[in-house]
Amino acid sequence: MLDTREYLIAGGFPPIRRRTLRTLQVNIGYLCNLSCTHCHVAASPRRTEMMDEETQALVLEFIDRHDIKTLDLTGGAPEMMPAFRPLVKAAYERGVHVIDRSNLTILVEPGHEDLVAFLAAHQVEVVASLPCYTEDNVDAQRGKGVFNASIEGLRRLNAAGYGSGEPGAPELHLVFNPGGPSLPPPQQQLEQAYKRELAEQFGIQFDGLFTITNMPIARFGSQLISKGGFNDYMALLKDSHCDANLEHVMCRDTLSVDYRGYTYDCDFNQMLDMPLGGKQGALHLRDLLEHDFSHQPIQVASHCYGCTAGQGSSCGGALA
Given a cut of 60, whether residue 1 has pLDDT beyond it is no
In the chain, DSSP assigns E strands to 23-27, 70-74, 97-102, 125-129, 172-176, 208-211, 254-257, 263-264
Percent of the chain with pLDDT over 70: 96
The domain limits of the chain are 5-308
Do 217 and 8 form a contact (C-beta atoms < 8 A)? yes
CA 159/CA 276 separation, integer angstroms: 42
Mean predicted confidence (pLDDT) in 124-133: 94
Q: Identify the CATH assignment for 5-308 out of 2.20.25, 3.20.20, 3.40.50, 1.10.287.
A: 3.20.20
pLDDT given for residue 198 in this prediction: 97
pLDDT given for residue 37 in this prediction: 63
Mean predicted confidence (pLDDT) in 63-80: 96
- At position 68, the amino acid (one-letter code) is I
Do 29 and 50 form a contact (C-beta atoms < 8 A)? yes
pLDDT in tens, 10-40: 668 999 999 999 999 999 999 988 776 666 6
pLDDT given for residue 218 in this prediction: 80
Conformation bin of residue 118: beta by default, left when phi > 0, alpha when psi is -120 to 50: alpha
Please, which pLDDT band fits residue 42 given cuts at 50, 70 and 90?
A: low
pLDDT in tens, 153-196: 999 999 999 999 999 999 999 999 888 899 999 999 999 999 99
Please, which pLDDT band fits residue 89 given cuts at 50, 70 and 90?
A: very high
Question: Exposure of 111 by Cβ count < 10 A (0-12 exposed, 13-18 middle, 19+ buried)?
Answer: exposed
For 125, phi and psi rounded to 5 degrees? -75, 130
pLDDT given for residue 138 in this prediction: 83
pLDDT given for residue 320 in this prediction: 67
pLDDT in tens, 201-217: 999 999 999 999 999 98
Q: Which residue has the higher pLDDT, 45 or 229?
A: 229
Q: Which residue has the higher pLDDT, 224 or 36?
A: 224
Given a cut of 70, whether residue 256 has pLDDT beyond it is yes
Conformation bin of residue 218: beta by default, left when phi > 0, alpha when psi is -120 to 50: left
For 173, phi and psi rounded to 5 degrees? -120, 140
pTM greater than the 0.75 cutoff: yes
Please, which pLDDT band fits residue 271 given cuts at 50, 70 and 90?
A: confident
CA 164/CA 172 separation, integer angstroms: 9
Mean predicted confidence (pLDDT) in 55-59: 98
Please, which pLDDT band fits residue 9 given cuts at 50, 70 and 90?
A: confident
pLDDT given for residue 143 in this prediction: 77
